[in-house]
Structure 1
């Protein structure tokens, strides 16, 4: 954390030095332009278009390497602007953030976005509002910020977006040997029937998962659960990650709570799966008494 803050402070000082060298009066539009110049021209920050590398979602790596996901670049941009007295908020648009400066003369700020926008903001997550919402939108004062289509993300929501992406990417990497295998596949009724019958194709899934990537997915999921403790979907996903990691006792506890909060259609499916998990938990406690060659007929 201290390294991040020191890096943000350094970037803010770089922007200040640039503004002073140009005799700036530190107007918001001048600050925004200078932040873009320092980050994307002088420091060489760039956005990874694919967003498929987990390193692009770890702030310390993005600050060190200068390359990262759009949302992490947005966070850096907002933090530098905040240190210079310009508040910039982000609205969630898909998996990205639409950055929005909270200044009175907002139209002046967006003059820099005309023509070749890459010379000002080299990231797809920072759009002129008209690109997404039509040419008539674009508040020019604080009084018009309450636009129904723009719901500014809280810090908690931004962190949740990053953690969710990390969880999904680490899970995808964990099951790379079996592409297309979804985290929720074991809940499918057909999968549960095959598992109960000892289908060898289903039994192989757990053995094929990459342990390190699975652990990293669980770590991201744990932090998501702390952010949103009553979200049943996050409970379900976390319980299934624990199941794939053979932590059956914890999975039973997590999915039992999840089943109580889930909609009726999902509740029945989860309750049936929890029954299976109870048996797996009992069987795993007996594993030390079983011959090493004895296969499980439940996992």
Structure 2
């Protein structure tokens, strides 16, 4: 964590740790609030892990689209794990202390993983565009090597765009107070606590956030607008319905993610009200990752069939194991 600490912090004279205030909850509702978020967290993990598992075990789902979906599910698991376990701890124990370097490391991982998720959605949009609008060229273009390359580029771009503002903010002067009115270390609350002039860093972060959100959003809009035009021209009503069903799922996820993140981060001045950001972050961190696997599985017949086949194989395997001792 040495690279994340300021000169003043290394000298031991200023802020060495932050205190996460958490989310305001009435005392008699703490247990209920804890259980609800614990169930949502476990359901999100299980749902996203289900997508990853079923993609790996069923050869029919080993296609570029499901490769991107399973990678996105893995990123979602990492995304919620950066903050939700901490939120659960804060709900039970109250305020929580977090070391200076760990706090900035959490902000770094959260923002890099989040940006990577948006680039993955853009890659998924391009995959759908090629599959529907350029079906003859699709197998050649979307080779396994190209899919792996796109995922690598998404991760690299997420790191490239989010690393510099977090590192620059970590090197500013923190003289107190050290209470963060949030349930995890995010860029805005940390910028609010800095005693240095952070306007240039906030503007840099705002610019990079705009680039990440709007670049991936424009790619998605380009892809799906062309997809809609192509779908309308399809001769078969069944083909149109199938294509619309797949794309509408992706568009729902896009709307949820872009809406919440635009509300939180697309503000030139990060010293805005943190309360509203905290509520939006809760939606972005809890609700959206929970809905993603539900949207993708409930509206996808291929996943339904793959799950049914997997359950049938599991039941057959258990039956054979019970019958084995008598053979």
Higher relative contact order by CA 8 Å / sep ≥ 6: 1 or 2? Answer: 2
Q: TM-score, normalised by structure 2?
A: 0.24
TM-score scaled to structure 1, two decimals? 0.25
Q: Which has the higher helix share?
A: 2
Instruction: Tell me which structure has the larger Cα radius of gyration.
Output: 1
